[in-house]
């Protein structure tokens, strides 16, 4: 039983990440869910203003790793409507600046402003509804 739990936690850590540069990692596959740096976040999410869904997580949290898998799946569904990014809190202090107090948090940005957020691990269907609602409002 413990081996299965340990194995499932290990599987949610994204091993498909490909290093591109100092500021960006890309998950290989059909969807584009990228781990980004603070610099990239400021330049792309805040200044360019395109619709962006950003997760704030860390590899050490099981719930954050599970959320990562859910967002990765949803990215494939919504990749034409929004950009999907991940900020690793071990490498960034953005959570403090943005007032994010929980590790597994999904934030919805448009035109450089955070319009909404989902705190904690939620079911894929609930997060899908939240993304659909976000896309309708922009």
Mean of pLDDT values over 99-119: 93
Is a pLDDT exceeding 70 seen at residue 137?
yes
> Burial level of 83, CB count in 10 A (0-12/13-18/19+)?
buried
User: Among the ranges 3-12, 91-100, 119-128, which has the highest mean pLDDT value?
Assistant: 119-128
d(CA 59, CA 76): 22
Q: Is the pLDDT of residue 28 over 60?
A: no
User: 2: pLDDT confidence band, cut at 50, 70 and 90?
Assistant: very low
Of the candidate CATH numbers 1.10.3720.10, 3.40.50.800, 3.40.30.10, 3.50.50.60, the domain formed by 2-137 belongs to: 3.40.30.10
Q: Which pLDDT score is estimated for 58?
A: 79
DSSP string, 24-45: EEEE-SSS-EEEE-HHHIIIII
Give the whole-angstrom CA distance, residue 128 versus residue 138: 16
Query: What is the pLDDT at residue 1?
Result: 34
- pTM, two decimals, is 0.76
| CA pair distance 16, 123, nearest whole angstrom | 23
pLDDT digits (tens, 9 = 90+) for 47-72: 988 999 999 987 777 888 899 899 99
């Amino acid at each position: 039983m413990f081996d299965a739990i340990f194995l499932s936690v290990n599987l949610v850590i994204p091993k498909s990440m490909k290093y591109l540069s100092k500021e960006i990692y890309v998950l290989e596959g059909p969807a584009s869910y990228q781990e980004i740096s603070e610099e990239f976040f400021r330049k792309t999410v805040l200044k360019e203003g395109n619709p962006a869904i950003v997760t704030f997580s860390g590899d050490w949290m099981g719930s954050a790793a599970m959320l990562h898998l859910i967002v990765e799946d949803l990215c494939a569904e919504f990749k034409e409507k929004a950009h999907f990014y991940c900020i690793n809190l071990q490498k960034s202090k953005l959570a403090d600046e943005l007032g994010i107090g929980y590790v597994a948090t999904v934030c919805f940005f448009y035109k450089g402003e955070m319009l909404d957020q989902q705190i904690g691990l939620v079911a894929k269907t609930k997060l899908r509804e939240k993304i659909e609602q976000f896309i309708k409002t922009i």
